[in-house]
């Protein structure tokens, strides 16, 4: 009876150890996948801002989702569609000479949706008058299996 109990206990302990190791490998694999996806989003976000600083409207337009929306100050407050958004981006690229991004954060909401937030400061010229501006931006990126990461929503709030 004691030998039987020892053998059953040993089998249970080995099975539990194998399950635990399998679970740990799964957690490591998921963490690695999240790290890879986060780096992909950081790269596409950086590329988007680079296109903006180079005043490359076509580069920006190519990263906007077909259902893109935008909230910002001014009239209209809500912009629907990439074509309308490009009017704002073109004006902003014309007016803004420098922009610095601070406190960037990337959060994966799922494997194909990411939230990017940051604060910014910038200088430029509007109506022949210099201006300085600071604010906050939130962007939502979605992954399209044919086109990669696309920007589906942006909300920008200005401090000044």
Helix (H) or strand (E) holding 12, with range, is: helix 2-53
CATH number for the domain harbouring residue 134: 3.10.450.50
Query: In the prediction, which pLDDT does 9 show?
Result: 81
Query: In the prediction, which pLDDT does 1 show?
Result: 63
Q: How far apart are CA 146 and CA 68, in angstroms?
A: 17
Query: In the prediction, which pLDDT does 108 show?
Result: 95
Query: In the prediction, which pLDDT does 57 show?
Result: 95
- Report whether 45 contacts 116 (CB < 8 A): yes
Backbone angles phi, psi at 19, to 5 degrees: -65, -45
Query: In the prediction, which pLDDT does 23 show?
Result: 80
Q: How far apart are CA 69 and CA 152, in angstroms?
A: 6
Residues 6+ apart with CB under 8 A from 19: none
With 0-12 / 13-18 / 19 or more C-beta atoms within 10 angstroms meaning exposed / middle / buried, residue 95 is middle
Omega into 76 within 30° of 0, i.e. cis?
yes
Q: How far apart are CA 28 and CA 47, in angstroms?
A: 29
Query: In the prediction, which pLDDT does 12 show?
Result: 85
Please give the average pLDDT of every successive group of 10 residues along the chain, which has 160 residues: 78 80 77 91 96 95 96 87 93 93 96 97 94 96 96 91
Query: What is the number of domains present in the chain?
Result: 1
Query: In the prediction, which pLDDT does 13 show?
Result: 78
0.85 exceeded by the pTM? Answer: no
Query: In the prediction, which pLDDT does 66 show?
Result: 95
Query: In the prediction, which pLDDT does 38 show?
Result: 96
**Domain carrying residue 40:** 2-158
């Amino acid at each position: 009876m004691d030998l039987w109990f020892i053998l059953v206990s040993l089998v249970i302990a080995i099975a539990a150890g194998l399950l635990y190791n399998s679970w740990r490998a799964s957690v490591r694999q998921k963490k690695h996948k999240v790290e890879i996806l986060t780096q992909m989003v950081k790269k596409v976000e950086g590329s988007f801002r680079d296109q903006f600083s180079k005043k490359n409207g076509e580069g920006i337009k190519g990263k906007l989702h077909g259902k893109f929306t935008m909230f910002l100050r001014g009239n209209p407050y809500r912009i629907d569609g990439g074509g309308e958004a490009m009017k704002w981006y073109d004006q902003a690229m014309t007016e803004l000479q420098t922009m610095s991004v601070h406190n960037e954060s990337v959060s994966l909401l799922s494997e194909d949706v990411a939230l990017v937030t940051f604060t910014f400061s910038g200088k430029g010229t509007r109506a022949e008058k210099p201006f300085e501006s600071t604010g906050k931006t939130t962007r939502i990126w979605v992954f399209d299996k044919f086109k990669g990461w696309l920007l589906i929503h942006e909300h920008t709030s200005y401090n000044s």
